[in-house]
Chains A and B, each alone.
Chain A
Amino acid sequence: GAGVSQSPRYKVAKRGQDVALRCDPISGHVSLFWYQQALGQGPEFLTYFQNEAQLDKSGLPSDRFFAERPEGSVSTLKIQRTQQEDSAVYLCASSLAWGTGGNTGELFFGEGSRLTVL
């Protein structure tokens, strides 16, 4: 596709429900990142994939968070037993080169999935 596509754009969940957020990166992009952006804050790193390999998941806040990219393209971020503190915008970004943009440092971001946990 022309850009990074995320779905759903908006998700309301009751506390305790499981949610799944999808990211479709730019075709051919090797690297894929998930960031969490709380209201009024900058994005915070969650996890990073190089193709299908999850190379860094140090930012995942708890074992309720799980991400996968089984075929090296589409990625899913799953949050189990959602809590109110999980309310945030979840941003997906992709990059053509290894790591954060290689020579350019440019990430291409999606519009985000806004999760509200009631």
Chain B
Amino acid sequence: AQTVTQSQPEMSVQEAETVTLSCTYDTSESNYYLFWYKQPPSRQMILVIRQEAYKQQNATENRFSVNFQKAAKSFSLKISDSQLGDTAMYFCAFMKHGDEKLTFGTGTRLTIIP
């Protein structure tokens, strides 16, 4: 079974600064996908960024980028030039290739301070 660990329950950062959220996972699979999902207060969860394990290049989506370290089983999310709208719960998630279910971590509550 896969496990996803987010060791930072809460973080806060000043607007316009850069913040990194940590995620580690445990799996015996070699082919899988990793995700960061964002859940704003009282709003639905949305996908932020996705990484395929067989790709060495780190995924980027505008101000969001990941540092994927496959050997270390680490998948951190970097948010550059943070904005007030980035305030949310952030969940790291794992999906085995060929499977359909996501395994989520417990989340990191990120607050952007004006």
Chain A interface (Cβ within 8 Å of chain B)?
A: 3-4, 31, 33, 35, 40-45, 48, 55-56, 59, 91, 93, 99-100, 104-112
Name the residue on A nearest B51 (C-beta).
Answer: A105
Interface of A is mostly: loop
Category for how many chain B residues contact A: 20 to 34
Cβ contact of A105, chosen from B35, B105, B106, cutoff 8 A: B35
Assess the A42–B107 pair: CB atoms within 8 A.
Answer: yes
The residues of A that contact B28 with a CB separation of less than 8 Å are none
B102 within 8 A of A: yes
Name the residue on A nearest B47 (C-beta).
Answer: A106
Name the residue on A nearest B52 (C-beta).
Answer: A105
Assess the A55–B91 pair: CB atoms within 8 A.
Answer: no
Instruction: Compute how far the CA of A55 lies from the CA of B103 in the bound complex, rounded to whole angstroms.
Output: 17
Instruction: Compute how far the CA of A3 lies from the CA of B50 in the bound complex, rounded to whole angstroms.
Output: 21
Given A40-B106, A111-B42, A111-B43, check contact A106 B101 (CB 8 Å): no
Beta-carbon contacts under 8 Å, B44-64 to A: 44-47, 50
